[in-house]
Amino acid sequence: MSSILNVIRRNLSFSFMRRNDDVSIMEMLSDDFILSKFYSFRMNFSLAEYRYHRIKKTYETFRPSIWITIHTWTLILLITSIVIWPENDFIVDSKFFEQILNVQKFDLIIVELIVLSLIEEWLWLFFLKEATTYSCSFLDFLAHELPVYETRIDLKMKRYLIRYHSFTKFITTFIYSTVILWSMFLCILLLYFTFSSYMDDNIYFIQFITSIPISILIGTNIIYMSGQFFISGTFFFFFLILFREKIKQLKNLSTTLLQYHASESQYFVKKIFWSRFHCEYIILYGKISRINESVSVILLATETVAKSAIMTSCVFYSQQIKMVESNTFLVAILIIVFLYVNIMYMCIAILPKYNEQCLQSILRWLIRLQWRHKFSNVQSKQSTFYDRIVQRIRWRQTLKSNLFIQATVNNRLGFTCGHMFHINKFKFTELIMLNIPYILMLYKHVTR
């Protein structure tokens, strides 16, 4: 726990305002790896142990998994009993929390907390399986490919990645710290009013005893889920920034192909295309497709969380008589979750956009090149054996280029939300246009 607090303290130290070119990307991601081990994998292991398939199956390795899982399922069982058996002599009901927090329909928050906890456990089982079977695409890229990939990154791009990632960590850590303070305040408030209610003989002694762990578990579970959602999300944002800058470089390279017009330069143009763009594009597509094997499951979970959060916040807000600190905090948390997912979708949609621009530039270059070759063949009346060999090589390269374009038109470069849809700018716009009227109709239906 002390290592996590040190990481949070470093993330809030305004490091993005200081220029440090000596830090390697692996060193920069070491803090993200520490947080991911705790929030996502719930395991104690090093990157070297994962790289060489030597993760120890001991209690020390799975100690976070055991205690966090017990903590989460205890909370799920306790708050589920509040929903199923609202009137009993052992556990306080949702009406008691409504009186304490001065809110209405607190049972909606309880149901949402159950849903989020179940999704959290599902994601943990997914990460646990990938880590123990050494098939996690994130860790594979971090352990095997990133050290080699870093040597091919120029200083300007490295400086941009470090600065941008530090700024992203600062923003997410600041939001997370705010959630921690509000959660601690909420937990203390629940404990104080629970004790006051017991002293006023409004609840039984057994209800007072059981309400103490429920209040503490609710506060700590909100802190843990927020950490998994915000802090661990910066890990994915780094890969997203890295791939975005790489596809942006390929887009700029593809536009340079159109700047060559002289026929004597076509040899160098083709060499640029096949030796630089083609190879780099294939490598980039392979890396993104492998990481998407894990990301697609994560994005499916976040999409489910975002949809349930915005619906719960809409219904919960519509039932409030007066907005106070407690219900404002709960509504704000749910809205921030929804906005966070949509901002992430907006960043993911940039990859297919740059990919489309690359293909358009290459297609225009190929059309111009083949049109020039057509007229050069018409103008040449005689052809030697050497010319025929060159012509065959030229047509072979043309066929390869056309086949590459046909294969990449529908390659769906980028990330997918499970097996539901591919995230691009059109799907992002469609989701926004569907969510806004859906939320308004839901609010109108509830307040009717």
Which neighbouring-strand residues pair with 421? 417
pLDDT of the residue at 379 = 46
Q: Which of 234, 269, 236 minimizes the C-alpha distance to 253?
A: 269
pLDDT of the residue at 228 = 80
Kindly tell me the sign of the dihedral angle through the C-alpha atoms of 349, 351, 162, 3.
positive
Q: How far apart are CA 418 and CA 327, in angstroms?
A: 33
Give pTM, 2 decimals: 0.81
Q: Which of 206, 207, 45 minimizes the C-alpha distance to 139?
A: 45
The tally of CA atoms less than 13 A away on the side-chain side of residue 10 is 15
pLDDT of the residue at 374 = 58
pLDDT of the residue at 417 = 84
Q: Report the C-alpha dihedral over residues 169, 175, 180, 181, rounded to 10 degrees.
A: 130
pLDDT of the residue at 358 = 82
pLDDT of the residue at 24 = 73
pLDDT along the chain (448 residues), means of 10: 64 58 73 82 87 87 89 88 79 79 84 88 89 86 79 77 79 82 83 83 82 84 82 78 83 72 53 70 84 86 87 84 81 84 85 84 74 55 56 65 72 82 83 77 64
Q: How far apart are CA 351 and CA 213, in angstroms?
A: 46
